[in-house]
Amino acid sequence: MKLTFHGAAGEVTGSCHLVETRDARFLVDCGMFQGGKEARKKNLDALDFDLESLDFVLVTHAHIDHSGLLPRLVALGYRGPIYATPATRELLAVMLHDSAYIQEKEAEKANYLRQKSDKKSRKKPRDVAPLYTVMQADACLKQIEGAEYGTEFTPHPSVRCRFRDAGHILGSAITEVWVTERDKTRKIVFSGDLGHPGQPIVEDPTPIEDADILLVESTYGNRQHKSWDDTLNELVYAIRDTVQRKGGNVVIPAFAVGRTQDMLFLLYDLVRQGRLHNLDVYVDSPMGMKATEITMQHQELWDEEAKKVFAWGNHSHNGIRVHFAEQKEDSMAINDIRRGAVIISSSGMCEAGRIKYHLRYNLGRKECSILFTGFQAAGTLGRRIIDGAKLVRIHQQEIPVRADLYTLGGLSAHADQAALLGWLGRFRNPPKKTFVVHGELTAAEQFAKSIGKELGWKGVTVPALGTMVEL
């Protein structure tokens, strides 16, 4: 058996793992690389292996860094099934369509700028093609099949699989895979992205007790989140101080899937508790609105606290007003609001979408605040802001960073080091091989050392991009 790491190796984005046996070839995740100019080249160069002979693909969850190259995979020739949980399949219909639209618009913009700059040149500039199109994304969706949590399925005669709740976002899955080769069966577990215990809406990650081979994420493998109480106190302070004392707006970059719904839950709950009052919340993300609708349709996946808050919100709207910006005109109107608005918008790393407009209109105002609630990958606009940039470029304009900045790490949908070790500690015996993935190199290496030190596990390594290991 061979295992090749085609992404999320020494970095957080581009999750893609290829498993090859004598009888079967399959992928677990097919994610897009994100962050900086290098990401486009990496996405163009990705999937440089035999795609047509793949037997199937497993997708752990809908976030673009785990699913965003699926349309390109299909466009390049893959015709087999793609398996995901039913909730993930519904979310992918929204996210991949939106991602393709962004790819088309970015290519269109790049071509316009190239033609404008090369008008004096006799040589016609070569057009920039989108990574994939809306039509290709829609075609990809036809190959996605749903598999419920806890139900075994057999995508190949020599392979059995089962999805377990990862507690990261709606529909996210830990993936258990049993591979039979030469009459010997080995179990591989792919953690996907593991949620932090106690986070809003979704259940906690399902404990796994055994594996021969394990791939575990390490996004926050070298640090601890703030306590839940401290995080909520900071959130309350940031909103009160900005809206009531300074008279500005609060801008919250949020992943459309997962974080947007979490923030709505928390704001409702804080109003229910009387800790916040008289809120005007603007959700400016068409994809976030659709993801919220899908979340509402899957209450069987919610934890008990989420159900209580929803029941309260269904009968009482005192103290909180939520406005969804459905049309472009609704989004533009938010930019005219100078004070008192809590604006939740995507993308979560500030790389594309409507959040850039809200940063453009609020980042340079000292009476406003920006609340970062999720991981900011290296090279992204969000990362540059939290790393202390004094000026950032947005829509060809230099914008000074004057707003107050908050990084609410306790709201992360990723488990921190203690939670990751706690999840690993539920294994009855250490896996024979453990690969630490989906973390920046420093985080992954420190987490690998922690696994050895705290749990006494042997055979823990951090693979490099493109590494192929024989198992």
CATH architecture of the region 2-223+414-470:
4-Layer Sandwich (3.60)
pLDDT at residue 117, as a whole number:
67
- Cβ-in-10-Å burial (0-12, 13-18, 19+) of 446 comes to middle
| Nearest of 325, 200, 207, 215 to residue 264 by alpha carbon | 200
- Taking a C-beta distance cutoff of 8 angstroms, is the pair 225, 343 a contact? no
Q: Are strands 279-284 and 397-400 parallel, antiparallel or unpaired?
A: unpaired
| Nearest of 406, 403, 431, 291 to residue 347 by alpha carbon | 291
The residues spanned by each domain of the chain are 2-223+414-470, 228-411
- What whole-number distance in Å separates Cα of residue 22 and Cα of residue 24? 6
- What whole-number distance in Å separates Cα of residue 44 and Cα of residue 39? 9
- Taking a C-beta distance cutoff of 8 angstroms, is the pair 270, 233 a contact? no
- What whole-number distance in Å separates Cα of residue 288 and Cα of residue 36? 23
**pLDDT for 299-358, tens place per residue?**
999 999 999 998 888 776 778 999 999 888 999 999 999 999 999 998 888 988 899 999
Neighbours of 455 (CB within 10 A): 14
Decide: helix, strand or coil at residue 379. Answer: coil
Query: In CATH, what class is 228-411?
Result: alpha beta
Q: Are strands 2-7 and 16-20 parallel, antiparallel or unpaired?
A: antiparallel
> How much is the pTM?
0.90
Tens of pLDDT, residue by residue, the chain (471 residues): 999 999 999 999 999 999 999 999 999 999 999 877 789 899 999 999 999 999 999 999 999 999 999 999 999 999 999 999 999 999 999 999 989 998 998 888 888 877 776 665 556 667 889 999 999 999 999 999 999 999 999 999 999 999 999 999 999 999 999 999 989 999 999 999 999 998 899 999 999 999 999 999 999 999 999 899 999 999 999 999 999 999 999 999 998 889 999 999 999 999 999 999 999 999 999 889 999 999 999 999 999 999 999 888 877 677 899 999 988 899 999 999 999 999 999 888 898 889 999 999 999 999 999 999 888 888 889 999 999 999 999 998 999 999 999 998 788 889 999 999 999 999 999 999 999 999 999 999 999 999 999 999 999 999 999 999 998
Nearest 5°: the CA angle 420, 421, 427 is: 105
- Taking a C-beta distance cutoff of 8 angstroms, is the pair 185, 179 a contact? yes
- Taking a C-beta distance cutoff of 8 angstroms, is the pair 372, 406 a contact? yes
Decide: helix, strand or coil at residue 218. Answer: coil
| Nearest of 341, 409, 351 to residue 378 by alpha carbon | 351
